[in-house]
Amino acid sequence: MAKLSAAVLSLCVVLAFLAGQSAAGRYYSDKVQDKVRKEVEKAMAYNPGLGAALVRLVFHDCWINGCDGSVLLDKTPTDGTNTEKKAVTNIGLAGFEVIDTIKQKVGANTSCADILVFAGRDAADILSGGKIFYKLDGGLKDGVVSSAAAADANLPESTFDFTDLQNNFAASGRGFTVKELVALSGAHSIGVAHLSSYQDRLAADATPIDSDYQLALNKTTPLELLKKGQNPTVPNNPRDASAAFQKDAAYDPVTLGVSPTRNVLDNSYYHNNLENKVLFKSDWVLRTDGVAAGKLQDYKDNAAMWNSDFAAAMAKLSGLPPQGKNLEIRKNCRFTNQQYYY
């Protein structure tokens, strides 16, 4: 009898798991979220780099006046075309066309802010092979302001020191802890960065960086390129770099104890960071604070703990309420309803 109940229980667990998965991925008991999921899967199959872009969009939207789709606006009545997209800290932001396509599919009743956080959630789920997942309820509204200056004043910079980062994350309207800062920074296991964003790390007096890794970076993207008007990108994670780069950087994922599979959202960032093989000063400085350094070690040692803390922090981020007074559900994610004409 006991054996039978155990078998029934395991069957229920399997069925419950399957209920949340489709052949291609996950599905929801919500038509809008299903449509978002389908489009994100399609977009990432066509261009895998879009996954990282969609995850970053959540951070860059929700950090400025809450999750209000302000990062998607091309112009507003008060900011003209000088919207968040023009901010220096928003360099490389992408994924806007995916959001536009989804908006066309889901129609007038779903806000652009909801689409953006759903899409970022699905991208994280897909990039982590289903290990990072969180539920979102929707119901966010879209804002009508979007200022490049406000984005630059509020988004953290890659040259921040630890106290700058801690204050930025703890700021009112956000309230993120050091633990959440460290958990969210693990998003830098995916995606790419422009030379201008890590140029300080190529100098002789850079914040500590592994000398082989620095050499490889200087070889692939020498600083002189900036003077020539070029601003190439490298992967945030040396694991995603070419074999030649990895050889120069003395980067062997297996020796480091991380999975060699590329383009995966996982805890490899913590392994890299504790070897000084991270791109930004803002990544490395997490080593300079006792609490943050402890979390770096925890997340390196315990992948499941990071998956779950990252998911919880992303859910919190995706739920930061829009702060504007005049909220709406946009007809087109690039324009406020006042400025959108059919």
Among 32, 36, 40, 52, binds ligand HEM (CB under 6 A): 52
Whose Cβ is closer to ligand HEM: residue 106's or residue 117's? 117
Distances (CA, A) of 174 to 64, 78, 320: 9, 24, 7
43 scored as a contact of ligand HEM (CB under 6 A): no
HSE-CB for 97 with a 13 A CA cutoff: 6
Which among 74-82, 136-144, 186-194, 319-327 is the span making contact with ligand HEM, rule CB under 6 A?
A: 186-194
Q: Select the residue interacting with ligand HEM from 178, 184, 241, 249 (CB under 6 A).
A: 184
With CB under 6 A as the contact rule, which of the stretches 96-104, 108-116, 131-139, 180-188 interacts with ligand HEM? 180-188
Which residues, in sequence order, are bridge partners of residue 235?
A: 192
The angle at the Cα of 30, spanning 28 to 35, to the nearest 5 degrees, equals 80
Question: Which of these ranges, 4-12, 69-77, 187-195, 328-336, lies near ligand HEM under the rule CB under 6 A?
Answer: 187-195
Instruction: Give the contacts of 261 (CB within 8 A, at least 6 positions apart).
Output: none
Q: Is the CB of 82 or the CB of 263 nearer to ligand HEM?
A: 263
Whether the CB-CB separation of 89 and 56 falls below 8 Å is answered with: no
Dist. CA 108–CA 342, nearest whole Å: 13
Give the Cα-Cα-Cα angle 44, 46, 47 (nearest 5 degrees): 60
**Residue whose CB is less far from ligand HEM, 193 or 216:** 193
One symbol per residue from 257 to 296: x for binding ligand HEM (CB under 6 A), - otherwise; what is it?
-----------------------x-x--------------
For 232, other C-beta atoms within 10 Å of its C-beta total 13
Q: Is 36 in the site for ligand HEM (CB under 6 A)?
A: no
Say whether 61 counts as a known binding-site residue.
yes
Q: Is 218 helix (H, G, I), strand (E, B) or coil?
A: helix
Q: Which stretch binds ligand HEM (CB under 6 A): 18-26, 54-62, 71-79, 134-142?
A: 54-62
Please give the Cα distance from 64 to 155 (Å, whole number). Answer: 8
DSSP class of residue 21? B
Q: Which of 35, 60, 141, 271 is catalytic?
A: 60
Q: Which of 65, 76, 154, 185 binds ligand HEM (CB under 6 A)?
A: 185
* Annotation marks residue 60 as catalytic: yes
Residue of this chain nearest to ligand HEM (CB atom): 191
Q: Quick check: 271 and 257 in contact, CB under 8 A?
A: yes
Alpha-carbon distances, residue 200 vs 67, 222, 279 (angstroms): 31, 12, 10
Q: Would the annotation count 188 as a binding residue?
A: yes
Taking the C-alpha atoms of residue 43 and residue 51, their distance in angstroms, rounded to an integer, is 8
Give the binding site for ligand HEM (CB under 6 A): 52-53, 55-56, 59, 91-92, 94, 156-158, 160, 165, 184-185, 187-188, 190-194, 197, 236, 280, 282
Which residues line the annotated binding site?
Answer: 61, 66, 68, 70, 84, 156, 188, 248, 261, 266
Which residues participate in catalysis according to the annotation?
A: 60
